[in-house]
Structure 1
Amino acid sequence: MRNGFNSRTFMQKAAMCRLFAFFWLALCLVLPIPSGAAGPETVRARFIIDGDTFTTTDGRTVRLAAIDAPEIGRDGRPDEHYAAQARERLRALVFGKEVELVSDGSGRDRHGRILAHVILPEGGTAQEALVREGFAIVYPHDDNDPSRLGLLIAMQRQAILEGKGMWPRVLVSPFAEMSFLGNQASKRFGPVDCVVTRRISGGRRVDFPGLREAFWEGFAPYRECRSPFALQN
């Protein structure tokens, strides 16, 4: 019958489906996995560049995702406040150790460095330790893992409350009492007189009465504006 069940046709279609599934599975097994989909990778840290960057024994550079540490001075410029301490803390956490890299966001920054959360041998991440102890700040991006980012912001607030690491000096400087403007979209902020903050549109603009309030909300400083860590040690 035209509209009846045809077992022969059904068996032929089933065989074709099985054949298609077999070839699809074989294709998946031989094709390389895209870098953004790669699982955790184990590396050994060889050299600590600063408080948020290190190189591996195979010559690659790893930039810790979602945080930023005070900058080490270069080209005659002095270190930012707590830069040396942040580098030493990262050294204690990862130097010579095997750590796991969990890719975050795009997987690479504009300098070609690996962007990753660094899982420590004892558990937790290097980011969590640095932020919790006041050696680094949260530095959010749109493509960060929301759960990891939320945890880091909570840890930053606790570090501020407890006066850990760099926070006591940073939050009592004259700079900390200035007014700041933030960009709700990018989660960046700067002094009201900075050229970048002047361009923030009204719908994205957030007013902060001081430095503490901006950091409390998980905003990070614009690199184009004066750094709140540019203090004399």
Structure 2
Amino acid sequence: MEHWQDIRRIHISALLLAILFLFYPSYADSTSISDDHQKCEYQIVSRVIDGDTFELSNGIRVRLIGVDTPETVDPREDVQWFGREAAKKLKGWISGKRVCLKRDRDMTQDIDTHGRLLRYIWSESTRTEKDGLFVNAELIKQGYGLAYTDYPFQYLEEFRKYEKDARRNNRGLWNRKKQKLWEKEVERNKSLSRTCGRENTICPQDTIRHIGEYRTVRFFVRKSYDSGKAVFLNSKNDFRDYDNFTAVILVGDSTLQKENKNKFPKEPADYYWGKTLDVTGRIVEYEGRAEIILERPSQIKIVR
């Protein structure tokens, strides 16, 4: 379910996995957790990619076993209902933290076709969660994901029960009333973006013909991404498309970039996603595509 340069990363992940398993004894911590007698592999999570995938500090990617959350980063698809909420929840639980990883007891699958480890994970124990939070299960219980039952795994029946209970109680993605309102708002914003070309604006697909010009671009933010150094607001699902337009907010570690970040709304990738924007500035070319670097909030206007 990757988006940002994942194609190139698959081969790198496979190489890292080969090295990892070659030196496996140094990789695993043999401390057990929860009622399961399998051994933990303790690792630090460097970043969350979406609701069911994350990356470890050693660069290895992990896909949660038995749970499937709505798409947010697949370059072939629009962001799906409740996908961003699932990613945000997983980030809050594990990003930057030490977690326990376990293989499936039956070892039906260990690595997926994208080169990702397939694992169950637990957060470290807390005052309220003595054995740590069983993240795979909790995502389903709280309605952030579905039970992924295409392949057998040791908790399959339990996960099916958790999904049934979440569905029955309209939790999270199962709340159809909220889903309809969300879909209606997304469609409203998409229709607003189709007014590009009016009110002294240009359309995103035309920006490449206006490199060097100071213009206002009206577009719907289909995908947004915070790399930690910059926030990217994209007009296309796949940022690599030749006619994609990107508005870039620099939010890195430099003093100037930190000051810049504080001028914009908190978590701008979330704030601006799914909205139609009028972005004003000088259009520049980067790797064959058009973009505008944003230095102040006055350069962005949400079209109502």
TM-score grouping bracket, smaller chain normalisation: 0.5 to 0.7
Based on CA coordinates, which of the two structures has the bigger radius of gyration? 1
Aligned 8 A contact 1:103 1:115 in 2:
yes
Q: How far apart, in 2, do the equivalents of 1:40 and 1:138 lie?
A: 23
Structure 1 counterpart of 2:149: 140
The alignment status of 1:50 with 2:50, answered yes or no, reads: yes
Task: Indicate whether 1:109 and 2:89 are aligned.
Answer: no
Secondary structure of the 2:46 match is strand
Give the secondary-structure state (helix, strand or coil) at the position aligned to 2:138: helix
Query: Any idea what SS the aligned residue of 1:154 has?
Result: helix
| Partner Cα distance (2:141, 2:152) in 1 | 22
CA shift, 1:41, in A, is 0.5
2:64 is the counterpart of 1:64: yes
Q: Which residue of 1 aligns with 2:100?
A: 100
CA drift of 1:77 comes to 4.1
Please give the alpha-carbon distance, in whole angstroms, between the structure 1 residues aligned to 2:95 and 2:56: 9
Aligned residues of 2:50 and 2:73 also touching (Cα < 8 A): no
Structure-1 separation of matches of 2:90 and 2:150 = 22
* 1:121 and 2:124 are equivalent in the alignment: yes
With CA pairs under 8 Å and 6+ residues apart, which has the higher RCO, 1 or 2?
1
* In structure 2, distance between residues paired with 1:115 and 1:168: 29
2:69·2:146 contact (CA, 8 Å) conserved in 1?
yes
1:59 deviates by 0.5
After superposition, the Cα gap between the structure-2 partners of 1:170 and 1:131, relative to the gap in structure 1 and judged at 3 Å, is farther
Q: Which amino acid aligns with 2:81?
A: H
Matching residue's letter, 1:158: D
Distance 1:172 1:97, change over 3 A: closer
**Equivalent position amino acid for 1:106 in 2:** Q
Distance 2:73 2:122 in 1: 28
Computed over aligned residues only, the root mean square deviation of the Cα atoms, in angstroms, reads 2.9
Q: CA deviation at 1:170?
A: 8.2
Matches within 5 A, 1:24-39: 39=39
Aligned to 2:172, what secondary structure does the other structure show? coil
Instruction: Choose 152-161 or 61-70, whichever is displaced more.
Output: 152-161
Q: 1:60 to 1:87 in 2, by over 3 A?
A: same
Alpha-carbon distance, 1:76 to partner: 7.3
C-alpha spacing 1:118/1:170, structure 2 compared with 1 (3 Å): farther
Q: Which residue matches 2:168? A: 161
TM-score where L is the length of structure 1: 0.54
Match for 2:158 among 151, 163, 170?
A: 151
CA contact (8 A) 2:68 2:147 kept: yes
* C-alpha distance 73-111 of structure 1, shift in aligned 2 (>3 A): closer
For the residues of structure 1 that align with 2:76 and 2:150, how far apart are their CA atoms?
30
Mapped partners of 1:98, 1:169: distance in 2: 35
SS at match of 2:103: strand
Deviation string, structure 1 residues 132-154 (Cα, Å, up to 9, x no partner): 11000000243411xx1211111
Count of paired positions = 140
Structure 2 residues without counterparts, runs of 5 or longer: 1-23, 28-37, 126-131, 181-273, 276-304
Moved over 4 A (4+): 170-173
Structure 1 residues 172 and 88: CA distance shift in structure 2, 3 A: closer
Q: Mark the CA change 1:77 to 1:142 in structure 2 (over 3 Å): closer, same or farther.
A: closer
Contact 2:64-2:121 within 8 A present in 1 as well:
yes
Give how far 1:40 is off: 2.2
Q: Determine if contact 1:73/1:80 at 8 Å carries over to the other structure.
A: no
The alignment's TM-score, normalised by the length of structure 2, stands at 0.42
Q: Deviations over 1:55-78 (max 9, x none)?
A: 000100000001100001443742
Q: Percent identity?
A: 25
Cα contact 1:44–1:96 (8 A) shared by 2: yes
Q: Could you tell me which residue of structure 1 aligns to residue 80 of structure 2?
A: 80
